[in-house]
Amino acid sequence: MRLVLLGLPGAGKGTQGGRISEKQGIPHISTGSMIRAVIASGSKLGSVVDSYISRGHLIPDDIAIVMLKERLRMDDCSTGWILDGFPRTVAQAKHLDATLMQEGIKLDYAFDIRISEEEAIRRIEQRRMCRECGEAYHLLYYPPTQQKVCDKCSGELYQRPDDNRQTALQRLGVHMKQTHPVVHYYAQSGRLISINGEREIELVFAGVDIAFSLLLDTGCAGEVR
Ligand code: AP5
Ligand code: MG
């Protein structure tokens, strides 16, 4: 299965991507996490992409595409994958389709996790991430047992530099302008599944699971409320 997760910043792409990956046994590939790793490496490319991400802008399409293509060449991607944060522009979506077509494979579905902008801000402002394994916590909705310590791997929890209100508002604006058209791109080709993301984490995951069963039964895309 080859999937794309769409949704506003804070919608739960990382949260659901990790759970789908565990259940389906395919890698969860977050371009945001890949970019943060490049920044942490201190490379020249890291400082280039940091200048975009820290202001809430998208990194240039050509850099994002090269990063993703390199990742998809790795062995663990041979039986499928879940992309989180890619594509973020229609140009990236078209590029992905063209690349897959050259290899005789295709993207199966795009899951759009839908939440309001107000909920996105509430989730982003109180998110804490694990430096080691990338698990995302929320101080109210999904709190860690111990403050600043990851339940899964005991890594240190931190707040992403782009998780402040001002940058989050900028990211939401960029999303509506540059990324929202991607939803229509997949709807037009009958590959869009809309998921109600404004429920508890496990209920959203149950919705994703229902969508999987329906897809396997009928092959039809649609909406899971
Ligand atoms: P990225 O890291 O992908 O950030 P994003 O799209 O803004 O999404 P987030 O990671 O903020 O949210 P999420 O949907 O993963 O939510 P999460 O599961 O953590 O990208 C960062 C930047 O990199 C971009 O701004 C851009 O600059 C750049 N970039 C990345 N890819 C690019 C590309 N392809 N091209 C160009 N630039 C690119 O959940 C959020 C919070 O809510 C957590 O605290 C979680 O615990 C909580 N939560 C999750 N689900 C629920 C729920 N159902 N109920 C209650 N709380 C919940
Ligand atoms: Mg994320």
Q: Ligand 1: which atom is nearest the Cα of residue 203?
A: 53
Per-residue exposure over 1-28, b if at least 16 CB sit within 10 Å of its own CB, e if not: bbbbbbbbbbbbbbbbbbbbbeebebbb
For residue 80, give the DSSP letter: -
- pLDDT greater at residue 222 or residue 37: 37
- Residue with the nearest Cα to atom 8 of ligand 1? 9
Q: Which tokens is 177 given?
A: 């302008």
Best probe residue, ligand 1, of 141, 159, 163 (max atoms within 8 Å of C-beta) = 141
Catalytic-residue membership of 160: yes
pLDDT tens digits, one per residue of 187-201? 999 999 999 999 999
pLDDT attached to residue 223: 65
Q: What angle do CA 75, 193, 64 make, to 5 degrees?
A: 45
How much distance in Å is there from the Cα of 15 to the middle of ligand 1?
Answer: 9
Per-chain mean pLDDT for the chain: 95
Share of the chain above pLDDT 90, in %: 92
pLDDT in tens, 48-81: 999 999 999 999 999 999 999 999 999 999 999 9
pLDDT for 89 equals 98
Question: Does the pLDDT at position 19 exceed 90?
Answer: yes
Closest CA to 195 of 174, 210, 180, 216: 210
Are residues 100 and 3 in contact, defined by beta-carbon separation less than 8 angstroms? no
Work out which ligand 1 atom sits closest to the CA atom of 92: 34
- The pLDDT score that the predictor gives to residue 219 is 64
> Each residue of 159-179: pLDDT tens digit?
999 999 999 999 999 999 999
pLDDT, tens digit, 9 for 90 and up, residues 80-95 = 999 999 999 999 999 9
Whether 171 is a known active-site residue: answer: yes
Q: What are phi and psi of 107, to 5 degrees?
A: -75, 130
What confidence score (pLDDT) does residue 222 get?
64
Taking the centre of ligand 1 as the mean of its atom positions, its distance from the CA of residue 97, in whole angstroms, is 23
Give the torsion sign (CA, 140, 145, 147, 152): negative
pLDDT in tens, 91-140: 999 999 999 999 999 999 999 999 999 999 999 999 999 999 999 999 99
Taking 90 as the threshold, does the pLDDT of residue 221 lie above it?
no
Helix intervals (H) in the chain:
13-24, 31-41, 44-53, 61-72, 90-102, 117-125, 165-174, 180-188, 201-218
Mean pLDDT along residues 205-212: 90
Catalytic residue among 2, 13, 36, 71: 13
Q: How far apart are CA 1 and CA 30, in angstroms?
A: 16
Ligand 1 atom nearest residue 84's Cα: 3
- Domains along the sequence of the chain with CATH: 2-224 (3.40.50.300)
> Is 213 exposed, middle or buried (CB count within 10 Å of its CB: 0-12, 13-18, 19+)?
exposed
CA dist 165 → 10, 84, 129, 168, 190 (Å): 12, 22, 17, 5, 35
